[in-house]
């Protein structure tokens, strides 16, 4: 999606949302409630104690697939909101999106009978494990505590962000595979409307996850590297 005019802190939040409706889902992750009226992005951010620079960087990532933020900016920006934002996104995926998709999928599995049902079910269970491991274990239990420690001025020797960069698996590929299987390869007569519904949901989630991993690659990793380098 390309932007029609440059967005700044002075832009009205409502105008920003109107330019890209997908940004609506970012608000709750920042803890920004609805009912913001005609306030500018800066005002809304100030009221909600959110760094408007960080907010705009993340909005840019979600609006423009080619956008890459300037790393040197991170030293001058209040980045405290980044981890809470990522955690809120993870929570949204695990508690809202995946259960929703699973609900659709259970109905499709049931209708698929003994021929296709078990393999779909197995495929999804494995994928869910992968996602849980990716999000909960890796990010919430290892990476995030490491970053918190860095911010307190400690430098744990057991870990560094390079390891995250190398082990950062792409949880979106398998999701895209699931969609291809549901659209292209499962026999056409099994709950077609339900499969269209779930595929649209998967496309939305896949696009969201792709922005999310760009946020991790292009913002989180360089930011943590700058924290690592700042310590003696």
How many Å separate Cα 52 from the centre of its chain?
19
**Buried b / exposed e across 26-46, counting CB within 10 Å, b at 16+?**
bbebbebeeebeeebbbbbbe
For 12, 177, 180, 190, the CA distances from 193, given in Å and listed in that order, are 38, 19, 15, 9
Residue 12 has what DSSP assignment? B
Site for another protein in 111-130 (CB under 8 A): 116, 118-120, 123, 126-127
Q: Return phi, psi of residue 3, to 5°.
A: -85, 145
Site for another protein contains 232 (CB under 8 A):
no
- Print the binding letters for residues 161-190 with another protein: x by CB under 8 A, - otherwise: ------------xx-xxx-xx--xxx----
Q: Name the token pair of 130.
A: 């992968």
Place of tokens 């398998």: 174
d(CA 161, CA 225): 7
If the CB atoms of residues 24 and 200 are measured against another protein, the closer one turns out to be: 200
Binding mask 6-45 for another protein (x = CB under 8 A): ----------------------------------------
Number of residues that bind another protein (CB under 8 A): 17
- Please state the closest distance from residue 58 (CB atom) to another protein, in A: 27
Three-state secondary structure call for residue 40: strand
**In terms of CB distance, is 100 or 122 closer to another protein?**
122
Could you list the residues that contact another protein (CB under 8 A)?
116, 118-120, 123, 126-127, 173-174, 176-178, 180-181, 184-186
């Amino acid at each position: 999606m390309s932007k029609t005019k440059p967005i700044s802190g002075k832009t009205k939040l409502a105008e920003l949302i109107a330019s890209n409706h997908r940004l609506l889902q970012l608000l709750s992750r920042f803890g920004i409630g609805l009912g913001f009226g005609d306030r500018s992005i800066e005002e809304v951010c100030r009221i909600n104690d959110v760094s408007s620079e960080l907010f705009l960087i993340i909005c840019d990532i979600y609006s423009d697939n080619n956008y890459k933020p300037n790393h040197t900016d991170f030293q001058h920006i209040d980045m405290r909101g980044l981890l809470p934002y990522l955690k809120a996104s993870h929570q949204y995926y695990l508690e809202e999106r995946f259960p929703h998709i699973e609900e659709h999928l259970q109905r499709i599995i049931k209708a698929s009978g003994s021929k296709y049902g078990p393999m779909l079910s197995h495929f999804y269970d494995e994928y869910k494990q992968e996602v849980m491991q990716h999000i909960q274990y890796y990010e919430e239990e290892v990476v995030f505590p490491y970053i918190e420690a860095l911010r307190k001025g400690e430098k744990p020797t057991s870990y560094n962000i390079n390891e995250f960069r190398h082990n950062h698996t792409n949880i979106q590929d398998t999701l895209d595979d699931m969609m291809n299987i549901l659209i292209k390869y499962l026999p056409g007569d099994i709950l077609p409307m339900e499969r269209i519904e779930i595929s649209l949901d998967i496309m939305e989630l896949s696009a969201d996850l792709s922005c999310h991993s760009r946020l991790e690659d292009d913002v989180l990793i360089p930011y943590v590297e700058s924290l690592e380098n700042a310590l003696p």
